[in-house]
Structure 1
Amino acid sequence: MQNFPLVSVICLSYNHSPFVEEALDSVMNQTYTNIELIIADDCSTDNSKKVIDNWLKKHPNILFIPNVINLGNTKTFNNAVKHAKGDYFIDLAADDILLPNCIENQIKTFQNSKYKNLGIVYGNLIEIDENGNSIRNYYTEEDYPESGDIYKMVIARTTKICSVSSMIKKSVFEKLNYYDENLAYEDLDLWVRAARVFDFEYIDKVLACKRETPNSLSAHFLFKNNSKTKQLNLSTLKILNNAYHLNKSKKEHQLLLGRIRFEMYKFFKARNFILLFKLFLFGIKVKFKSL
């Protein structure tokens, strides 16, 4: 492996005008310098595109892909990553921030890892509010992020992974056939499929800042009688079903059952009763396999 492999950062913007410039600057201010930045805007309805265009006047060699229609996160990202030339990539939302040594730490971890089948590295991060104020660390003392074969951790309702602090080998992403474009959100499905095949390694450092706002995607999972929430919950049901088919043991089905119970609570809070009933029936199926 070369000492300084090219890293592609794909920054996806959708109505992130107050934050996108800070996100882009965080990529340019990395201590690791062999970086390719690709910006994609998913037909924002605010002035995100104008902000990006103004920022690009100082960085004219950076690729910018503005969608003329809204395609959604998964399709927009898949389109952008196909332009990437790097051996590794980072999926950066345009309201999040990479700390200056984020990429340096990730590359060093890849190069010095004991795991021969390493596909993804991930680290800790700080959750921040709209004004950039710190809310909490993503991983606390109660969390135990794992390394190696973390499939059981991923499918269970235990420690979660956030894409903001993750770096993925592009060859891994290609082998997994990119993000599933039929889903309304992408990260959990990717972790499930990747963890079944590849090792992960946790970096015990804060690498990034993830912004939490009232309109963040994570907030939409609990909105009542909301069409976007319904799409998110439907995607969750599909992801859990995929995990069911990937499971290889009763123990894994038991862990998946714990995740199903947690998701049932979220479906109930969102008043998605039809999907809740489907998830309940799916839980019975998984329960039978776990015995």
Structure 2
Amino acid sequence: MKTKFLSLLIMCLVAGSVFAQANLNAYKYVIVPNKYDFLKEKDQYQLNSLTKFLFEKYGFKALMEGETYPDDLVKNRCLALKSDALKDSGLFKTKLTVELKDCNDAVVFTTKLGESREKDFNRAYTEALRDAFTDIEALNYTYQPSEAIATQTTVAATSTEQEIQQLKQELETLKAKEAEKAAAATVVPVVAVEKVEQVKDEKVVEAEVKEVMSSVLYAQEIDNGYQLVDATPKVVYKITKTAQPNLFMVNGENAIIYKKGDAWIIEYNTSEGTKQKELNIKF
């Protein structure tokens, strides 16, 4: 009976490891924070740098939070996992665990508690982190693109792209109609009026295309928040996180950005009072 129980336990552990590996293989990047909550300074004891090094050692493409991200990650934020190191209380041991979350802040993997009996903090944190990373090493990670994640991350982008393509198609249709009318046109005032109206319609559609393309702001993660970049690309706003997940402070301006229903709103104070504007933000 005891032998059967041990065999079943081993099978469960192996199955769990294989499942975790399959899950993590679908993600292309890992983002490492610049600072851990249990420490006072950025990259204190070089622990964040060590985290990035260990992820890269075991096959991941690791990026520090706030650095310039690859184009595919800018467009598809769910290609990356967000890493964190959590400290567990211990009287005689330093204990750390590494946690990985997806773009929706759902935990997808947690390592064992890495431990160290070292009294020196630098050595203790380093040793505990390396011990926790033995679980990451055991995954034998290899990136395998996932259609589900690609679909999840490109829904918003696809919607915007479809809107742009639809407007472009309308523009082409109007141009085709104008060409047909021009070929069969006779010199009468009515034709002239129609032509003027047609040109106006084209300009309206062209303006709508430009407006859609220029109005999209892509959120790039930086320290304690995001920078919102347009298609140029140019940084339009820098925003800082607050205690509320859907509320941000706008750096350098007397303004906030918050989510209202499915829309993002910027609200700012002017000499004429409070004003609001809807933003098209893609996180």
For Structure 1 versus Structure 2, the TM-score category normalised by the shorter chain is under 0.3
TM-score by length of 1: 0.27
Which protein has the larger Cα radius of gyration, Structure 1 or Structure 2? 2
Q: Which has the higher contact order (CA 8 A, sep 6+)?
A: 1
TM-score by length of 2: 0.28
